């Protein structure tokens, strides 16, 4: 404001010193600095979007669109991206999927026939598909006994040798 008053007092044309200021090297420097800062902000927005999108998005085209949004709209583009981006990192998703697959595999192994891979329940004595013996029955209490068990955990009776039972069952 004081600048305007000073300009009006010293010169017949009050706009003279104003225009000369805008033509001065100081103003040009301010202009350049402004543009420079703007470019840096724009580029860093696009770079941040690129770095973040690479960790969250698999599709290269979608990443390119996200980076283009960052380049075009700068901070606003980065803000839009941060709203619509996938909430999870790809690494986390992969890790979870791997965990799920391992768990499923373990579950499937526990509930399948060791010979033909047919689904069985853990109290089945014989596989309903290949008819091979999965477990024997305790001679004393009649409960299913795993082939690896040496003693019945329910009644403490000695488990009969499994190999002869399996042989008899398969070649019966």
> Which residues in this chain contact Zn ion in the complex, by CB under 5 A?
113, 115-116, 118, 127, 129-130, 138, 140-141, 152, 154-155, 157
Shortest Å distance, C-beta 158 to Zn ion: 9
Q: In terms of CB distance, is 106 or 140 closer to Zn ion?
A: 140
Helix (H, G, I), strand (E, B) or coil at 126: strand
Element (H, E) at 97: helix 90-110
The closest of 170, 119, 162 to 138, measured between CA atoms, is 162
Shortest Å distance, C-beta 123 to Zn ion: 14
The closest of 21, 25, 45, 43 to 33, measured between CA atoms, is 25
Shortest Å distance, C-beta 69 to Zn ion: 56
Shortest Å distance, C-beta 48 to Zn ion: 57
Q: In terms of CB distance, is 49 or 113 closer to Zn ion?
A: 113
Helix (H, G, I), strand (E, B) or coil at 119: strand
Q: In terms of CB distance, is 7 or 138 closer to Zn ion?
A: 138
**Bridge partners (DSSP) listed for residue 119:** 112
């Amino acid at each position: 404001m004081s600048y305007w008053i000073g300009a009006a007092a010293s010169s017949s044309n009050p706009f003279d010193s104003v225009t000369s200021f805008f033509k001065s090297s100081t103003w040009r420097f301010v202009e350049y600095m402004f543009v420079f800062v703007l470019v840096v902000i724009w580029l860093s927005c696009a770079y941040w979007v690129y770095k973040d999108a690479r960790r969250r998005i698999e599709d290269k085209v979608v990443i390119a669109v996200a980076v283009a949004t960052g380049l075009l709209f700068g901070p606003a583009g980065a803000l839009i991206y941060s709203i619509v981006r996938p909430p999870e990192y790809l690494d986390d998703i992969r890790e979870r999927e791997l965990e799920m697959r391992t768990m499923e595999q373990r579950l499937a192994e526990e509930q399948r026939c060791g010979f033909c891979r047919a689904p069985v329940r853990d109290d089945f004595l014989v596989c309903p598909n290949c008819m091979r013996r999965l477990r024997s029955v305790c001679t004393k209490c009649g409960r299913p006994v795993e082939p690896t068990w040496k003693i019945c955990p329910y009644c403490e009776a000695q488990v009969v040798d499994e190999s002869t039972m399996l042989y008899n069952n398969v070649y019966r």
